[in-house]
Chains A and B, each alone.
Chain A
Amino acid sequence: MLQHLSSVVWLLFETAQETLEHTRRGRLPFRPAIFFEQTDRAGVGSIPLVALVSLFLGLTMALLTGYQLQSFGTERLVPGLVAVGFTRELGPLITGIMVAARIGAAYTAELGTMTVAEEVEAIEAMGIGPLRFLVTPRVLAVFLLMPCLVVVSNIMALIGAAFISDLHLNISLPYFFDLIHDALQRRDIIAGVIKSFLFGLIIGLVACYKGLTVKGGAAGVGDATTSSVVTAITVVIGFDTLANIVLVALYD
């Protein structure tokens, strides 16, 4: 586990170094077309899934917490609970899990197939840095698009919660947003943003690392893809816990 972790960190430094070396020669760090293709794939392509799952989770969370809090007459806490919960915790976490499953798996399978077919080695043999050419645009795309997806997740969860609050808890829409405004603090938003960038970086790096280290043909690609998703989700949850400990220590 430690060896894999150090290899992923090594991949990050090697990729950064290779990209900077290329940039120093007055060239673009990578092909913009590849970067935009990857942002479209990782970001735009993930919106329907992230939006739908977050809407359902927002509905469920409001319904369950409302059901419990109603017995104490404190159901007005529901909007704040959903808003803080999603902004700070569930938005980045759920989006991270979905992106790891959808994009992480795709990256690993794609790079793994290229590795098995010697395409990655051919790129290296031509003197084109494969890390700069293949890894940089992919990792950067998922790193930059994660916060955007988290915003989508948060909005959709709040829409779901607003719907339940209005229908089931008699909290009107303007009152719902007033309660959110009172509950949500700047540090919750900052925590969510930091986490989403961090998770994006982790997912991108783990997926590319697993893809570039595939061994053993088609079965190897399958194993690496499974391992990539499992590893990325585990590491994301692990870092989420770590980030929570640090952020709580910093703010509270």
Chain B
Amino acid sequence: MDTPLVEMSNVDLSFDGTRILKGLSLSVAPRERLVILGQSGSGKSTTLRLILGILHPQHGSVKFKNEEVTHMSRAKLNRMRQKIGMVYQYSALISSLTIRDNLALPLEELTDKSREEIDQIIEEKLAMVGMEDTGERMPSELSGGMKKRIGLARALVLNPELVLFDEPSAGLDPVISSVIDELIISLTEKANTTSIIVTHEMDSAFKIATRIAMLYQGKIIEEDRPERFRRSENEVVKQFVEGKTDGPILENKKS
């Protein structure tokens, strides 16, 4: 097996006295598409923010390419972040900038590329997500699905080694949702990029993933290839995958 691109071990994280992650351990190999499943509020998005170094764990270790993220200096952290693209649930496009300027932002701020090179990359990335004619529009003029595709294009402008997706298909119609899923798959296949996708959309999860992990009560309780994950004997996983109301998830919540 390749050296893990991301490695988290025994990560504990609490907010205002509530423990969100309790000894989370997770390893992601290069060119994997790892889907993290879990209930709302289970700490899935938090896990992505830990990898980016936006949040810091109280205990445990988070490594990106064998380097400890939690103890990195700001300059080093910023250099690391340039190798990671993040696609937000609500796109998080800069509302005061046009689509073109949103995509140009990391290129202008972090690279020495010329105006022509930047324009060429923007055209290329917009074409990749099928949004060629939107460059001069403002984010407020786009639909949710279009924003999400632009968010993906922005995450790719620096050719990252790892792309983090926070609920990429949440709130989208099935067609646009499939378009996003296919973009994620083609991304890893064509560009050799590694992806970590956080979702609770089961169809998308099984379509995209090369491996699925289930986050429950602050730790990974099951991880496997999609076809094996679907047949898991773990009661929590079975209830979550089948979407049943009877089972340990709601019982534990009540207790």
Partner-B contacts on A (CB < 8 A): 17-18, 21, 113-114, 117-119, 121-129, 133
Contacts and interface: CB of A to CB of B under 8 A. Distances in A.
Contacts of A133: 109
A67 B7 CA distance: 78
Q: Which of A21, A128, A129, A133 lies at the interface centre, i.e. has the most chain B CB atoms within 10 A of its CB? A: A128
Contact of A129 (B74, B82, B88, B93): B74
A123 B110 CA distance: 12
Given A18-B74, A127-B110, A121 B79 contact: no
A125 B94 contact: no
A122 B158 CA distance: 14
Nearest to B97: A119
Given A21-B74, A119-B95, A128 B106 contact: yes
Contacts of B95: 113-114, 117, 119
Interface string B51-87: 0101000000000000000000011011111101010
B105 interface: yes
5 contacts: A122-B93, A124-B81, A126-B158, A127-B82, A128-B78
B78 A125 contact: no
B92 interface: yes
A45 to B, nearest CB: 16
A120 to B, nearest CB: 9
Contact of A121 (B80, B92, B158): B92
B240 interface: no
B106 A124 contact: no
Contact of B105 (A21, A124, A128, A129): A128
Interface in B109-161: 109-110, 158
Size class of the contact patch on chain B: 20 to 34
Given A118-B92, A122-B86, 17 more contacts: A17-B74, A18-B74, A113-B95, A117-B95, A119-B92, A122-B92, A123-B105, A124-B81, A126-B82, A126-B86, A126-B109, A126-B158, A127-B78, A128-B106, A128-B109, A128-B110, A133-B109
A18 B109 CA distance: 13
A122 B110 CA distance: 14
Q: Which of A114, A122, A126, A128 lies at the interface centre, i.e. has the most chain B CB atoms within 10 A of its CB? A: A126
Contacts of B158: 126
A49 B246 CA distance: 64
B90 interface: yes
A125 B75 CA distance: 13
B90 A121 contact: no
Given A125-B54, A127-B106, A129-B74, A118 B79 contact: no
A119 B82 contact: no
Give me the 3 closest cross-chain CB pairs, A-B, nearest first: A127-B81, A122-B92, A118-B92
B52 A119 contact: no
B90 A126 contact: no
A147 B86 CA distance: 42
Contact of A124 (B54, B75, B79, B93): B54
B138 to A, nearest CB: 13
B122 to A, nearest CB: 15
Contacts of A123: 94, 105
A136 to B, nearest CB: 13
A118 B90 contact: yes
A123 to B, nearest CB: 7
A123 B81 CA distance: 10
Interface in B21-58: 52, 54
B236 to A, nearest CB: 29
Contacts of A119: 92-95
B86 A125 contact: yes
A121 B48 CA distance: 12
A79 to B, nearest CB: 46
B74 A122 contact: no
B79 A127 contact: yes
Nearest to A131: B74
Contacts of B74: 17-18, 21, 129
Contacts of B77: 127
A232 B169 CA distance: 42
Given A21-B75, A117-B92, A119-B95, A126 B54 contact: no
Interface in B181-200: none
B88 A118 contact: yes
A121 B45 CA distance: 13
Nearest to B102: A122
A121 B94 CA distance: 11
Nearest to A128: B109
A129 B75 CA distance: 9
Contacts of B109: 126, 128, 133
